[in-house]
Structure 1
């Protein structure tokens, strides 16, 4: 059995880390890519590149359910009326979300 490559990285105060260059090269990762962590019950963790086309299995199953329901009962579909859109705008007017921003201390 070939020797396993080993690299070490350090966690910051916000639990962030840099993926070591050897791991980035092995997984062919670029800036902005996503990685998936797979954890075994014994604590061993694997990481792999997570591509946009991999998708979320729970989301995929939910979308399949919606598609089947819409196909079976298209008469149940209703257009969103403008009053609902206006209510959403009022509720969300002060919400600013940046999904790429690091977590705040309150979020951790």
Structure 2
């Protein structure tokens, strides 16, 4: 009987020392938070001068186009001498076509 009472006392001391078990048995919450308390935020505001969009500069585009036209010739862009009409030729297989294109380059 003394052993059982001794173990019962030790068990109750250990059991009550655990905070989570103590909170569970007593029925209280450790953090009392109210889900209905909501922090209000300010509404979104449009930035100043939002409707005043900057106009694109036409001069810079014209200068870039002129520089491209000066450096590249139309024939070098189109490569008319090197290209051929692939649809007019009859090819045996795709592999032959790829090999022929690689040999031509």
What's the TM-score bracket when you normalise by the shorter of the two chains? under 0.3
Scaled by the length of structure 2, the TM-score of the pair is: 0.20
More strand as a share of residues: 1
More helix as a share of residues: 2
